[in-house]
Amino acid sequence: MSMWKGIVVSVHIASTVGAPMQLVQSVRVVAGKGLEGDRYFKGEGFYSWFSGPLREVSLIEAEVLERLAHDHHLVLEPGETRRNIVTRGVPLGHLIGRTFRVGSVLLRGVEICEPCQHLVEVTGKKPLLSSLIHRGGLHAQIMTDGVIQVGDVIEPMEIAL
């Protein structure tokens, strides 16, 4: 894997299903559980019925949001994505099955977050379904407890867990 370093641009949580995502400067993360204060941590997210690490934390690239605005004239604010972490300089699609560090926390990429009808219903922006195919972000598993905050460095790890 080529070497790169990215950063955390913003962090978002929603306290209940369908609630607007709230911008926070930092959040405590718990391995195998999620982000404290977030709906999935409490088991109350729209997709909480799906067991496993898919709902622990989600990420999306700031560059994708910029391309949506430029290419499709579709403005999607970072919190509207329903993703927890907005990154810059991180090739999220390359992290499936790989371990990476966000600040002092280790995450492992699980799968691409494809856009869904729920995202359209919450945002009212139907073109998102086709515009975000294969670019909707990354679901990741939290491997270690810690705190993730705006400005944290994101980088790949040499180990595969």
- What's the token pair of residue 79? 């919190």
Band (160; pLDDT cuts 50, 70, 90): very low
What is the tally of structural domains in the chain? 1
* Torsion sign across C-alpha atoms 85, 88, 94, 97: negative
- Per-residue model confidence as pLDDT tens digits over 42-53: 877 655 545 666
Q: Is residue 108 part of a domain?
A: yes
Q: Is residue 66 part of a domain?
A: yes
Q: Give the whole-angstrom CA distance, residue 106 versus residue 53.
A: 14
Q: Is residue 142 part of a domain?
A: yes
Are the C-beta atoms of 78 and 11 separated by less than 8 Å?
A: no
Q: Does pTM surpass 0.75?
A: yes
26: domain CATH number? 2.40.33.20
Which residue stretches of 3-151 are H helix?
62-72, 117-123, 128-131
Range of the domain at 150: 6-156
Q: Is residue 114 part of a domain?
A: yes
Strand order in the sheet with 146-149: 34-35, 26-30, 146-149
Closest CA to 11 of 99, 29, 19: 29
Q: Is residue 62 part of a domain?
A: yes
Average pLDDT over residues 56-75: 92
Which residue stretches of 77-147 are H helix?
117-123, 128-131
Q: Is residue 161 part of a domain?
A: no
